[in-house]
Amino acid sequence: MRTIAIMNRVLKELFRDKRTLALMFIAPILIMLLMSVIFNTNSTTDVSIGTVGVTKSLNKELDGIKHVSVKKYTTKAKAKKALKDDKVDAIIKKNGNNYHLTYANTDSTKTATVKLAFKNAVTTTSINKLKSALKQSTKATMKLQAQLQALQKQAAASQTTAKTTSTKATANNMATKSTSQKTPKITNSYVYGDKDTGYFAKMLPILMGFFVFFFVFLISGMALLKERTTGTLDRLLATPVKRSSIVFGYMLSYGILAIIQTIEIVMVTVWLLGIEVVGSLVSVVIINLLLALVALAFGILLSTFANSEFQMMQFIPIVIVPQIFFSGLIPLDSMANWIKGISYIIPLKYSGDAVNSIIMRGTSIMDLGFNIGMLLIFLVVLTILNIVGLRRYRKV
């Protein structure tokens, strides 16, 4: 019962602090709207592509696509220099039948535009080629048929069979040649980053978790710090309340707040930003709730090491910022092994992984046992530390 009373009190305090509420509920939306506007402007991006040794028809096709302009270079070195000087956004080089694409990739939307344009151009040119090839082959077959008829008319001679096989063979050769032309091999390389760099869709699940973590951590830490500095914690502990009731009361109230916040953020991303969520929204909320509780326990724990609100703020660069680096926003594969090791103690990594696979691959929450388990371990350990830690203020 005392736990519920504490929960009610904390919620009452929170809902009367309008500014903090606004920060929790409006700031994430504002930032995400801004980000989506900034990251999703590819419809009006103009790109220029440098080509080396590419056929005339493909160049023409590329140039015909909206927002795409083509510059022809004679050698790869010249094209590369142009890429370096920011004159072109990508280079397409033809090696025999294959294409090699190099992207500056300083702007992921431009890279995407080039990829799309190139794919379209290649498809159109190959369709055109196919058409002409078809025409040619029909002509060839007609010729062959005519020859055959002529041969049959010439008649009789027993060598004919050998001749037809040889012509058939040449026809077959031609056919294989045209199929190999149809599917040229395309290789991509990037001057900066890789194919996963900076997609809003990939950032979103992590951002969502980050907002929940950041605000719950900061506000709950501040709240307990205030209880300590104003003396209400001492007074609370001078009543027969259990230490665990205090911790659980805080957990319940901030859990409720985190649920509301997560639902709000999910709604905005789905309805306003039009991000597709493949998996279940309920699972997303559950994972974020878990993360919020971890953040709460973390905030309460660290608040005992701070003597003022300002000292609490000092935890942001130490505790919050590293979370962003290891959350999966930046691909971990390219990092050194010892740095990867750090990521295992970052709660945001586990929630980011889990929410990512729910949103993008529709993974069921049942298959995320590892990530959920890790979050639960964080939660249980931090909660126990908090309950024991309150012993500092009352010995029973």
Partner 1 sequence: MATAIIDLQHLAKIFGKQTVLKDINLTVNAGEIVGLIGPSGAGKSTVIKVTLGMEVASGGSAKVFDTQMPNRQLLSRIGYMAQTDALYDSLSGYENLKFYGQMKGISKDDLPQAIQHVAEVVDLTKDLKKRVAGYSGGMMRRLSLAIALLGDPDLLILDEPTVGIDPALRRQIWAELGRIRDAGRSILITTHVMDEAELVDRVALLLDGKVMAFDEPVVLKHDYGVDSIEDVFLKAEGVD
Part of the chain binding partner 1 (CB under 8 A), chosen from 176-184, 235-243, 317-325, 364-372: 235-243
Quick check: 5 binds partner 1 (CB under 8 A)? Answer: yes
Question: Is 19 near partner 1 (CB under 8 A)?
Answer: no
Residues in 137-166 at the binding interface with partner 1, rule: CB under 8 A: none
Q: Does 228 bind partner 1 (CB under 8 A)?
A: no
For 86-159, list the strands marked E by DSSP.
90-95, 98-103
Angstrom CA distances, 205 to 57, 124, 270, 274, 277, stand at 42, 37, 12, 14, 10
Contact 45, 112 (CB under 8 A): no
Q: Cα–Cα distance between 392 and 243 in angstroms, integer?
A: 11
- Tokens encoding 200: 């809003």
Q: Which residues contact 65 (CB under 8 A, 6 or more apart)?
A: 117, 120, 121
Provide the minimum distance between the beta carbon of 249 and partner 1 in the complex, in angstroms, as a whole number: 10
Please work out, in degrees rounded to the nearest 5, the angle formed at the alpha carbon of residue 120 by the alpha carbons of 117 and 121.
85
Among 235, 267, 308, 316, the residue binding partner 1 under the rule CB under 8 A is 235
**How far apart are CB 313 and partner 1 at their closest, in Å?**
21
Cβ 285 to partner 1, closest distance in Å?
A: 28
In a 13 Å sphere around the CA of 168, the CA atoms on its Cβ side amount to: 7
Query: In this complex, which beta carbon is closest to partner 1, that of residue 39 or of residue 393?
Result: 393
Counting contacts by CB under 8 A, is residue 185 touching partner 1?
Answer: no
| Sheet containing strand 98-103, strands side by side | 68-73, 47-52, 90-95, 98-103, 186-190
Question: Residue 17, interface with partner 1 (CB under 8 A)?
Answer: yes
43 binds partner 1 (CB under 8 A): no
CB of 21 to partner 1, least distance (A): 12
224 closest CA partner among 312, 286, 153: 312
- Candidates 1, 156, 318, 336; binder of partner 1 (CB under 8 A) is 1
Contact between 2 and partner 1 by CB under 8 A: the answer reads yes
Residues 365-394 that bind partner 1 (CB under 8 A): 393-394
Distance separating alpha carbons of residues 272 and 276, to the nearest angstrom = 11
Residue 66 interacting with partner 1 (CB under 8 A): no
Half-sphere exposure of residue 355: CA atoms within 13 angstroms, side-chain side: 33
Contact region for partner 1 (CB under 8 A) — 37-45, 144-152, 228-236, 328-336? 228-236
> Is there binding between residue 119 and partner 1 (CB under 8 A)?
no
- Identify the residue among 33, 140, 241, 268 touching partner 1 (CB under 8 A): 241
Contact 3, 245 (CB under 8 A): yes
Q: Is 16 in the site for partner 1 (CB under 8 A)?
A: yes
- Using DSSP's 3-state secondary structure scheme, residue 319 falls into helix
CA angle 174-176-180, nearest 5°? 115
Contact between 237 and partner 1 per CB under 8 A = yes
One of 46, 234, 276, 367 touching partner 1 (CB under 8 A): 234
According to the binding rule CB under 8 A, does residue 307 interact with partner 1? no
Which residue, 14 or 312, is less far from partner 1 as judged by CB? 14
- Helices 281-303 and 369-389, axial angle in degrees (round to 10): 30
Nearer to partner 1, 14 or 300 (CB): 14
Footprint of partner 1 (CB under 8 A): 1-2, 5-6, 9, 12-13, 16-17, 230-232, 234-242, 393-396
